[in-house]
Amino acid sequence: MATSAKKKQPKRQKHAPQRTCVVCREKKDKRDLLRIVNNADDGVMIDLTGKKNGRGAYVCSSATCWDKVKQTNILDSALKAQVGPDTKMNLINRFQELQKEMGITG
């Protein structure tokens, strides 16, 4: 006759990892940011998986942050490497392609 009345506990909310945009310094969910990685083999590129080897930096999808990436040396210090103007333009062009493909607004 010993029936234990177990209380149903609400489901635990899954932890969403937070990262900081290196440009605007806002903390956001990792999924809301784009990771830029400096890989020894491939160089500096956008990492859509978020799992590539190398030193990474996160940038949000706002146009103002990407303008600052273009105009300043923020990525140089975040990635601890020299990011040339050609590489920056390639990153910005790739970001614009992703905006069109995924409908990212910013």
What is the CATH architecture assignment of 18-102?
2-Layer Sandwich (3.30)
Confidence grade of residue 7 (pLDDT, cut at 50, 70, 90):
confident
Q: Is the pLDDT of residue 36 over 70?
A: yes
What is the rounded average pLDDT of the residues 53-60? 96
C-alpha closest to that of 57 among 97, 21, 98, 95? 21
Q: Is the pLDDT of residue 58 over 90?
A: yes
Domain ranges of the chain: 18-102
Q: pTM for this structure?
A: 0.82
Confidence grade of residue 3 (pLDDT, cut at 50, 70, 90):
low
Q: Is the pLDDT of residue 100 over 60?
A: yes
SS (H, E, C) the chain: CCCCCCCCCCCCCCCCCEEEECCCCCEEEHHHEEEEEEECCCEEEEECCCCCCCEEEEEECCHHHHHHHHHCCHHHHHHCCCCCHHHHHHHHHHHHHHHHHHCCCC
Res 11: pLDDT: 85
